[in-house]
Amino acid sequence: MLARVCTFTIDGVDPRQVWAEVDIRSGLPSFTIVGLGDAAVRESRDRVRAAIQNSHFEFPQMRITANLAPAFLKKVGPGFDAALALGVLAASGQAPADALNRYAVFGELSLSGALRDSPGALAVAEGARQAGFPRLIVPRERAREAAIVEGVEVVGVSSLQAAADVVKGSEVPPLPAPEPDTSVPLPEPDLIDVRGHAAPLLALQIAAAGGHNLLLDGAPGTGKTMLARRLPSILPAMSRSEAIEVTRIHSVAGIHANGLIRARPFRAPHHTISPSGLVGGGSPPRPGEATLASHGVLFLDELSEFQRSSLDALRQPLEDGAVTIVRAQRALRFPTSFILIAATNPCPCGFAGVDDRCGCGEAELRRHRRKLSGPLLDRMDLLVSVQRPTEDELREPPAIGSAQARDRVAEARERQRERLAGTAASCNGEMDAREVRRHVRLDPAAEQALGDAYMAGVLSVRGRHRVMRVARTIADLERCDRVARGHVLTALALRQRTGSETALAA
């Protein structure tokens, strides 16, 4: 007899539908699984057999062939166990095969027959909804996460026995109560803690408002990291679809299990990270830090200490908002739309520009600059220097709190959304050259200032577009429809200086 059960595999961070087909016929007792599975799938046989027997079902002593279709798709991980086991039960008449057609099933089995926690339930729930399944069986630990997706009834069960009971028609168990959050919430970093740092504060708001990448440059201990950590606090709240995407990614990566993520991600990988750690990779390919930072902030501290290859790997993600990983004739696409914020010392010793303490020679400076320069800096819209605040500034009241800044940012983003409706860009930082020309209206004095800068040779063509994007954001923050001279001048002061535009040192 033949039965088939719908399940899903995670391809990158996206769900792909897989049919677990089970055929049982008379012959020498055997159990084979075909369909391009990995080692975990092959071992599934033994888990499924033991789980069925330990759940007080009968494991048919016949010839069992299971196929995971489509056969071309590589199936990874133990998430097919539950589907295979239910397939065996249905094919041997121990569960109703026609009722099973209404279910998608996902989860790993233990030998005892318990359904084990398996990462990626949110992605699976999205797949089940798209494929039109009314009900989804997942491990109980993952039920709340899967239930974020609307339009699918999530059945969170803790054993194969319970899953079979539901299929047979018993009542769907209620979702588990949300785990009481026992951890003491850490105070979110807030701009209210910042004293002094007038220019960096402005740059942070511009970066948040326009989705611009920002480079902080300053001597050790001046507060670069402290400032960078406060960027997420002034970004507008995520939309539901953004939140679901973030939750899905983090769930697939196995670093989140409980409900919808609401806070924007902030990822700060250490500078020893490998290229595949940063943009994703490995076998099976897993999302990297760039993907985990999607819709949030990726912070690279000590930018010049990162391997050149890691930084180069960030080019495509920054350019396209996604990274494509090719493994064994398969191309996977990981989304990567984040704001990049990086911090660096102005020179190897860190003290260039602070009195005459800097002891770096011209050659060292050039090496430092070369390490930083190039395509990555080319994608950084903003450069701001961070100086040590003075004693007086430390005693002053804070300039602005995160809540207030977030309101400003949200309003500026709203203006951009209206202007950019119907284009691929959602904020000024994402505008391409054509959109810059179309949407950035300069008044004559602003045009003049930009022209002067271009004539003076301090701007490349690309740099010119960068300045226009940033100027547009500054105007949005000030609720201006046209970009005025002051906006362009501010953008010029915050411009990234690459190549001949003398980057970071004299």
Partner 1 sequence: MNDRRACDRCLKRTWLLARLSGHLDQARGRAEEVLELADTELLAALAGPRRGAVAAEYERVQPRAIRHRVGAAGLEPICRCDPGYPQRLLALSSPPSVLHVGGGLERLLEIVSGEPVAIVGARRASGYGLEVAGSLGRGLGSAGVAVVSGMAIGIDSAAHAGALDAAAHTVAVLPGGAEQPYPPGKRSLYNRIRGAGAVVSELPPGTAVRRWMFPARNRIIAGLSAATVVVEARERSGALLAAARAVELGRAVGAVPGRVTSPLATGPHRLLTRGATIVRGPQDVLDLLFGCGVRTAPAQTRPALADDLERVLRKISDGHDTIAALARAGLPADQALTALSALELAGYVRREAGGRYMVVP
Among 82, 148, 449, 475, binds partner 1 (CB under 8 A): 449
Tell me if 384 contacts partner 1 by CB under 8 A.
yes
Number of helical H runs and strand E runs in the chain = 21, 16
Tell me if 363 contacts partner 1 by CB under 8 A.
yes
Asked if 2 and 23 touch (Cβ cutoff 8 Å), the reply is yes
Among 392, 397, 418, 461, binds partner 1 (CB under 8 A): 392
CA distance 320 to 314: 10
Among 64, 105, 442, 489, binds partner 1 (CB under 8 A): 489
Tell me if 197 contacts partner 1 by CB under 8 A.
yes
Among 452, 479, 481, 482, binds partner 1 (CB under 8 A): 452
C-alpha distance across the termini of the chain, in Å: 79
Contacts of 493 (CB under 8 A, 6+ apart): none
Secondary structure of 9-42 in HEC code, one letter for each residue: EEECCEEEEEEEEEEEECCCCEEEEECCECHHHH
Q: Cβ-count burial of 461 within 10 angstroms (0-12 exposed, 13-18 middle, 19+ buried)?
A: exposed
Asked if 386 and 354 touch (Cβ cutoff 8 Å), the reply is no
Beta strand extents in 391-440 (DSSP E only): none
Tell me if 468 contacts partner 1 by CB under 8 A.
no
Binding part of the chain for partner 1, among 55-63, 158-166, 291-299, 362-370 by CB under 8 A, reads: 362-370
Provide the minimum distance between the beta carbon of 495 and partner 1 in the complex, in angstroms, as a whole number: 9
Tell me if 202 contacts partner 1 by CB under 8 A.
yes
Q: Of 119 and 353, which CB lies nearer to partner 1 in the complex structure?
A: 353
CA distance 88 to 44: 13
Tell me if 453 contacts partner 1 by CB under 8 A.
yes
Tell me if 436 contacts partner 1 by CB under 8 A.
no
Q: Of 75 and 197, which CB lies nearer to partner 1 in the complex structure?
A: 197
Q: Find the binding residues for partner 1 in span 287-346 (CB under 8 A).
A: 346
Binding part of the chain for partner 1, among 167-175, 224-232, 307-315, 386-394 by CB under 8 A, reads: 386-394
Q: Of 142 and 487, which CB lies nearer to partner 1 in the complex structure?
A: 487
Three-class SS state of 439? helix
Q: Of 440 and 488, which CB lies nearer to partner 1 in the complex structure?
A: 488
Among 2, 34, 131, 198, binds partner 1 (CB under 8 A): 198
Among 128, 358, 377, 475, binds partner 1 (CB under 8 A): 358
Distances (CA, A) of 257 to 6, 72, 488: 23, 30, 46
Rounded to 5, what percent of the chain is helix, strand, coil? 40, 20, 40
Supply angle C-alpha 259, 265, 266, rounded to 5: 145
Provide the minimum distance between the beta carbon of 356 and partner 1 in the complex, in angstroms, as a whole number: 5
DSSP state of 255: S
CA distance 128 to 407: 37
Among 237, 326, 424, 506, binds partner 1 (CB under 8 A): 506
Tell me if 99 contacts partner 1 by CB under 8 A.
no
Secondary structure of 97-152 in HEC code, one letter for each residue: HHHHCCEEECCEECCCCEEECCCCHHHHHHHHHHHCCCEEEEEHHHHHHHCCCCCC
Binding part of the chain for partner 1, among 35-43, 69-77, 182-190, 347-355 by CB under 8 A, reads: 347-355
Three-class SS state of 452? helix
Q: Of 19 and 351, which CB lies nearer to partner 1 in the complex structure?
A: 351
Tell me if 353 contacts partner 1 by CB under 8 A.
yes
Q: Of 53 and 390, which CB lies nearer to partner 1 in the complex structure?
A: 390
Q: Of 29 and 359, which CB lies nearer to partner 1 in the complex structure?
A: 359
Tell me if 258 contacts partner 1 by CB under 8 A.
no
Q: Give DSSP secondary structure letters for 197-234.
A: -HHHHHHHHHHHHHT--EEEEE-TTSSHHHHHTTSGGG
Q: Find the binding residues for partner 1 in span 207-226 (CB under 8 A).
A: 217-219
For binding to partner 1 (CB under 8 A), which residues are involved? 196-199, 201-202, 217-219, 346-347, 351-356, 358-363, 365-366, 384-387, 389-390, 392-393, 449, 452-453, 456, 458, 486, 489-490, 492-494, 497, 504-506
